[in-house]
């Protein structure tokens, strides 16, 4: 089964777009978070696709790093969400607008 | 002894170097009195002041002896005084026969008057109720002697002028010595003011003469000016006439001649020794001395000399007429002084410098004598008044005036010494031979008869009146019955006052010997300074006429005042005889009123106009307040409201508002929604990517 790279890239683009839309439109902090993960993984997918296409392992190495950083980011992000929930009793990110000018 | 030795060994010139001491001694005296006089008491003050002047007299005598050994005199340099570029005026003494004559006369008469004043002021300060002023009097008196010495010894116009102003200052200080007394409480102060201001007019003339001399001759030193004036020849006639006429203005001020004589009668407000020393014997002769000193210039300007003679003769007669109508014993003497100064001025105007100087000296003797004995009379009457006032209630009516001759009479028996010396002085003044006044006055009259008959007639008339008013005074004061309680109780003055009187009386008796006709001691003595002058011939006709006139006048005075003495309250017999003329004399021909109307009032209204209209309304109200202040206010107001607020402030306020609006606009970007920021990030990324891919 030989899937063409363009398909993979298109899937990555679609995933990324879904992530962007999720970040922009959703108000639930968890969903926004998951959308960000989606965007990250869309990027990973593009890396993998190119790695296969170009027969290079550099892309795969990048993906490993990205997954590790994303895991750490999730830990920090979830901690932030918990902290926000503690103070605001909500995880609606539109409530987080005290920096409004 | 040093002096004698120096004279014998012929080093007379060395003695001239001591000349500055003649100024230094009086100054030391006044400084001593100034510092410790008040603490050490009247005796000390009197001794120091009189001693200082006596020492000055000794210096004068030394100069006289030295000059005898070396008649050409000397110029004694003291210091460089003013040195500016080509102008160089050293402070130098001119020792010649003229200045030494003046030194001897001034210091000698001053010494006698100082001694007299020791006694006179002792009583005067008590009568006037301020014994503390005794010291001050002698300080002024010594200052006067010092200034007078500066005047007579100076060898340039400028040094002479310093003395000239110095004596004027002392005159002012001493006329106003009892400045809180006199008419209205300021009469004496006003008299001092008048003397000072009138003299200022004369001084102004002198200053102009001095400037002209410097302009024309480039020097202020007498000898240089004279030399250059002579070298100039006829070309200098114009400027010399101007210089000498302005010098004459100066002389009319200081020597009380028409038209500036009006200050001298008022100057009698000063204590009597002041009248004797300053306003009779010494200071008022400064004008005559100054003209004599500048005789070279006057000889080169015949027109000015003629003017001098006319001014002198007119003054001599005019003042004599006023003297006839006076009741104040000192005022009679004051007008007499003006009249006699007129004689001297006429003499120097006629070129008879020796005769003028001769009369100056004899007049100093007998007029000082007359004033001092008048002072003695006044104090005698004052003592009588105090005595009477202690016994009885003070008499009602007019306030007591110890100077009024109508309140005197019969003093001959009560004040014998004073009467005798007064008589000597009066006879000398009247010109009866062989007293001093006869010789000196006769020399002037003889010269006038030779040169200018009109002046001779004026002077003879004045001489006639002189004898008349002195006779009138003698009979009114000393004969008849006392016309007041004060005169009734009059007492003779103490020895310290009568002794100098005796000395002056002796000088008045013998003073004529200084320049006897035919011998001309003074004339030959002054030749060294004045050059060989043709000696006026003794004119027996003139002498006879003048003595005859004097005798006639005295006879007339006896007829009017002697035969039937004035009774208390009786009007002057002359009044009946002369009517309005006597009233005119009595009122001094209203010259003061004329000057007041003509000059003083115009001057006051001019100054009032200047003060109120020009300074007040124009300068202050209009120019300062309206133009300057309001203009400034208007321009600052325009700058503030028209420029600062709209332009400067407007620019910065506008700038601030602009920034504020910009900030408010930008503020809306800061929504606080993370989403918006993410969108912006996305937009940015898309743009960057777009640029990378398609740019």
Query: How is residue B474 written in tokens?
Result: 């003698």
User: How many other β-carbons are positioned within 10 Å of the β-carbon of residue B609?
Assistant: 12
Are the beta carbons of A24 and B682 separated by less than 8 Å?
A: yes
Closest CA to B556 of B471, B478, B476: B471
B287 in a structural domain: no
Q: Which among A24, A96, A101 is the nearest to B679, CB-wise?
A: A24
B515 domain residue, yes or no: yes
List the Cα angle B474/B479/B484 in 5-degree steps.
105
**Which of residues 68 through 97 in chain A touch B, CB cutoff 8 A?**
93-94, 96-97
pLDDT at B1: 47
- Sequence-ordered alpha helix ranges (H) in B128-178: 133-153, 157-175
Band of pLDDT at residue B313, cut at 50, 70 and 90: very high
Residues of B with CB under 8 A from a CB of A: 666-675, 678-679, 682
Mean pLDDT of B398-421: 87
* Whether B561 and B641 share a structural domain: no
Which residue in B186, B344, B338, B172 sits closest to B262, CA to CA?
B338
Are residues B555 and B606 both part of a single domain? no
Establish if A99 belongs to a structural domain: no
Number of structural domains, chain B? 2
Answer yes or no: are the C-beta atoms of B189 and B195 closer than 8 Å: no
Residues of chain B in contact with residue A101, where contact means CB-CB under 8 angstroms, are 666-672
Looking at the structure, do residues B535 and B601 belong to the same domain, yes or no? no
Domain interval for residue A81 = 5-92
Residue B540: is its pLDDT beyond 90?
A: no
Class of residue B515 by CB neighbours under 10 A (exposed 0-12, middle 13-18, buried 19+): buried
For the cut 90, the answer to whether the pLDDT of residue B486 exceeds it is no
Taking CB atoms and an 8 Å cutoff, what residues of chain A touch B665?
A: none
Residue A23 sits at the chain B interface (C-beta within 8 Å): yes
The verdict on residue A98 lying in a domain is: no
pLDDT for residue B488:
86
| B535 and B677 inside one domain | no
Asked if residue B662 and residue B552 are part of one domain, the reply reads no
In a domain, B266, yes or no: no
- A-chain CB neighbours of B679 within 8 Å are 24
Domain containing residue B533: 318-386+402-586
B443 shares a domain with B506: yes
Partners of residue B91 on adjacent β-strands: B79
Asked whether residue A97 is assigned to any structural domain, the reply reads no
Of B542, B552, B581, the C-alpha closest to B467 is: B552
Q: B81: part of which helix (H) or strand (E)?
A: strand B74-84
Of A20, A23, A101, the CB nearest to B667: A101
Mean pLDDT of B194-210: 94
* A57 touching chain B per CB within 8 A: no
A100 inside 8 A of chain B by CB: yes
Does the residue A65 lie in any domain?
A: yes
Q: Are residues B514 and B620 in the same domain?
A: no
Interchain CB contact of A101 with B (< 8 Å): yes
pLDDT for residue B538 is more than 80: no
- The end-to-end CA distance of chain B, in Å, is 131
Q: Which residue of A has its CA nearest to B673?
A: A97
Residue in chain B closest to A25 (alpha carbons) equals: B675
Domain limit, last residue, from B569, B586, B603: B586
Q: Are residues B342 and B420 in the same domain?
A: yes
Task: Name all contacts of B157-162 with Cβ < 8 Å and 24+ positions apart.
Answer: B157/B209, B157/B210, B157/B213, B157/B220, B157/B221, B157/B222, B157/B225, B158/B81, B158/B82, B158/B89, B158/B210, B158/B220, B159/B81, B159/B89, B159/B91, B159/B92, B160/B290, B160/B293, B161/B203, B161/B206, B161/B207, B161/B210
Decide if B674 and A24 are in contact by the 8 Å CB cutoff. Answer: no
User: What is the ipTM score, two decimals?
Assistant: 0.85
**Does B475 lie in the same domain as B362?**
yes
Q: Give how far Cα B143 sits from Cα of A63, B24, B195, B278, B473, Å.
A: 123, 10, 18, 12, 33
The pLDDT value given to residue B374 = 94
Indicate whether A20 belongs to any domain: yes
Q: What is the tally of structural domains in chain A? A: 1
- A96/B672 CB distance under 8 A: yes
Contacts of A100 in chain B (CB under 8 A): 670-673
Quick one: tokens of B594?
């004329």
**In terms of C-beta density within 10 A (0-12 exposed, 13-18 middle, 19 or more buried), how is residue B90 classed?**
middle
pLDDT of the residue at B586: 86
Tell me which of B655 and B16 has the higher pLDDT: B655
> Which pairs count as long-range contacts for B208-216, CB under 8 Å and 24+ apart, including other chains?
B208/B246, B208/B249, B209/B157, B209/B242, B209/B243, B209/B244, B209/B246, B209/B247, B209/B249, B209/B250, B210/B157, B210/B158, B210/B161, B212/B239, B212/B242, B212/B243, B212/B246, B213/B157, B213/B243, B214/B87, B216/B240, B216/B243
**Minimum CA–CA partner of B666 in chain A:** A101
Beta bridge partners, B90, equal: B80
Locate the chain A residue with the closest alpha carbon to B683. A20
**Do residues B351 and B301 lie in contact, with contact meaning Cβ atoms separated by under 8 Å?**
no
B178 within 8 A of B61, measured Cβ to Cβ: no
The mean pLDDT value for B41-53 works out to 93
Cα separation, B305 vs B312, whole angstroms: 11
A2 in contact with B, Cβ within 8 Å: no
| pLDDT attached to residue B463 | 94
Give mean pLDDT, residues B598-605.
92
Q: Which of B521, B554, B586 is the endpoint of a domain?
A: B586
Give pLDDT tens digits for B346-402.
Answer: 999 998 899 999 999 999 999 999 999 999 999 999 888 888 877 655 554 557 888
Tell me the sheet residues that pair with B96.
none
Question: Does a structural domain hold residue A101?
Answer: no
Q: Which two tokens stand for residue B153?
A: 């010894």
Q: pLDDT (tens digit, 9 = 90+) per residue, A3-15?
A: 899 999 999 999 9
Cβ contact B672–A99 (<8 Å):
yes
Residues B620 and B646 in one domain: yes
Write out the DSSP string of chain A: ----HHHHHHHHHHHHHHHHHHHHH--BHHHHHHHHHHHHHHHHHHHHHHHHHHT-SHHHHHHHHHHHHHHHHHHHHHHHHHHHHHHHS--BGGG--TT--
Residue A99: which of B668, B670, B679 has the nearest Cβ? B670
Cross-chain Cβ contact B672/A20 below 8 Å? no
pLDDT in tens, A37-68: 999 999 999 999 999 999 989 999 999 999 99
Asked whether residue A31 is domain-assigned, the answer is yes
pLDDT value for B391: 62
Candidates B667, B668, B674, B677: best to mutate against A (most CBs of A within 10 A) is: B674
pLDDT at residue B9 tops 80: no
Q: CB of B345 within 8 A of CB of B379?
A: no
Claim to verify: residue B565 and residue B607 sit in the same structural domain: no
Contact at CB, A97 and B682, closer than 8 angstroms: no
CATH of the domain at A71: 1.10.287.3510
User: Same domain, yes or no, for B680 and B638?
Assistant: yes
- Which one of B586, B602, B624 terminates a domain? B586
Q: Do B682 and A20 touch (CB under 8 A)?
A: yes
């Amino acid at each position: 089964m030989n899937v063409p790279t363009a398909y993979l890239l298109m899937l990555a683009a679609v995933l990324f777009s879904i992530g962007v839309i999720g970040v922009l439109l959703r108000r639930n902090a968890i969903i926004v978070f998951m959308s960000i993960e989606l965007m990250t993984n869309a990027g990973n997918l593009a890396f993998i696709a190119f790695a296969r296409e170009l027969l290079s392992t550099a892309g795969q190495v990048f993906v490993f790093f990205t997954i590790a950083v994303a895991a750490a980011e999730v830990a920090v992000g979830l901690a932030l969400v918990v902290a926000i929930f503690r103070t605001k009793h909500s995880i609606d990110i539109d409530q987080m607008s005290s920096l409004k000018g | 002894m040093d002096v004698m030795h120096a004279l014998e060994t012929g080093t007379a010139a060395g003695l001239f170097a001591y000349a500055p001491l003649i100024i230094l001694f009086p100054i030391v005296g006044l400084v001593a009195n100034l510092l410790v006089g008040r603490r050490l008491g009247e005796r000390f003050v009197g001794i120091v002041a009189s001693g200082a002047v006596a020492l000055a007299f000794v210096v004068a005598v030394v100069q006289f002896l030295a000059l005898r050994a070396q008649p050409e005199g000397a110029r004694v340099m003291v210091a460089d005084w003013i040195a500016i570029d080509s102008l160089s005026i050293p402070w130098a003494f001119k020792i010649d026969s003229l200045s030494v004559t003046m030194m001897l006369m001034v210091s000698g008469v001053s010494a006698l008057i100082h001694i007299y004043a020791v006694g006179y002021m002792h009583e005067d300060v008590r009568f006037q109720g301020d014994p503390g002023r005794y010291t001050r009097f002698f300080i002024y008196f010594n200052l006067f002697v010092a200034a007078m010495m500066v005047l007579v010894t100076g060898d340039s116009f400028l040094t002479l002028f310093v003395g000239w102003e110095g004596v004027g200052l002392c005159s002012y200080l001493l006329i106003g010595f009892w400045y809180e007394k006199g008419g209205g409480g300021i009469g004496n102060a006003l008299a001092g003011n008048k003397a000072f201001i009138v003299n200022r007019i004369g001084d102004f003339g002198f200053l102009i003469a001095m400037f002209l001399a410097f302009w024309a001759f480039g020097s202020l030193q007498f000898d240089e000016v004279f030399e250059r004036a002579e070298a100039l020849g006829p070309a200098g006639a114009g400027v010399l006439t101007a210089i000498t006429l302005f010098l004459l203005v100066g002389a009319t001020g200081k020597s009380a001649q028409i038209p500036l004589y009006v200050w001298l009668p008022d100057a009698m407000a000063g204590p009597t020794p002041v009248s004797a020393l300053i306003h009779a014997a010494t200071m008022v002769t400064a004008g005559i001395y100054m003209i004599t000193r500048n005789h070279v210039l006057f000889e080169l300007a015949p027109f000015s000399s003629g003017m001098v003679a006319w001014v002198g003769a007119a003054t001599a007669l005019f003042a004599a007429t006023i003297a006839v109508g006076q009741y104040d014993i000192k005022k009679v003497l004051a007008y007499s002084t003006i009249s006699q100064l007129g004689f001297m001025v006429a003499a120097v105007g006629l070129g008879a410098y020796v005769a003028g100087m001769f009369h100056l000296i004899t007049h100093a003797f007998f007029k000082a004598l007359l004033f001092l004995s008048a002072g003695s009379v006044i104090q005698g009457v004052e003592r009588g008044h105090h005595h009477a006032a202690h016994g009885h209630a003070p008499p009602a009516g007019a306030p007591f005036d110890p100077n009024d001759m109508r309140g005197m009479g019969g003093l001959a028996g009560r004040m014998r010494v004073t009467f005798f010396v007064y008589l000597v002085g009066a006879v000398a003044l009247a010109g009866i031979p062989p007293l001093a006044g006869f010789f000196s006055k006769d020399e002037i009259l003889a010269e006038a008869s030779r040169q200018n008959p009109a002046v001779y007639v004026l002077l003879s008339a004045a001489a006639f009146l002189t004898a008349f008013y002195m006779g009138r005074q003698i009979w009114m004061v000393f004969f008849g019955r006392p016309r007041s309680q004060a005169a009734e109780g009059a007492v003779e003055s103490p020895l310290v006052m009568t002794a100098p009187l005796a000395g002056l009386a002796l000088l008045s008796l013998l003073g004529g010997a200084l320049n006897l006709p035919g011998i001309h001691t003074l004339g030959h003595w002054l030749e060294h300074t004045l050059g060989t002058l043709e000696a006026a011939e003794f004119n027996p006709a003139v002498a006879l006429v003048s003595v005859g006139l004097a005798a006639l006048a005295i006879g007339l005075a006896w007829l009017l005042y002697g035969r039937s003495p004035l009774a208390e309250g009786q009007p002057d017999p002359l009044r009946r005889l002369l009517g309005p003329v006597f009233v005119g004399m009595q009122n001094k021909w209203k010259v003061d009123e004329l000057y007041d109307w003509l000059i003083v009032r115009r001057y006051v209204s001019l100054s009032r106009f200047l003060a109120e209209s020009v300074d007040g309304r124009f300068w202050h109200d209009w120019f300062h307040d309206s133009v300057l202040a309001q203009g400034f206010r208007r321009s600052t107001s325009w700058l503030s409201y028209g420029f600062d607020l709209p332009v400067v402030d407007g620019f910065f306020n506008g700038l601030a508002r602009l920034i504020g609006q910009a900030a408010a606009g930008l503020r809306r970007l800061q929504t606080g929604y993370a989403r918006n920021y993410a969108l912006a990030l996305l937009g940015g990324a898309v743009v960057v990517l777009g640029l990378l891919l398609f740019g």
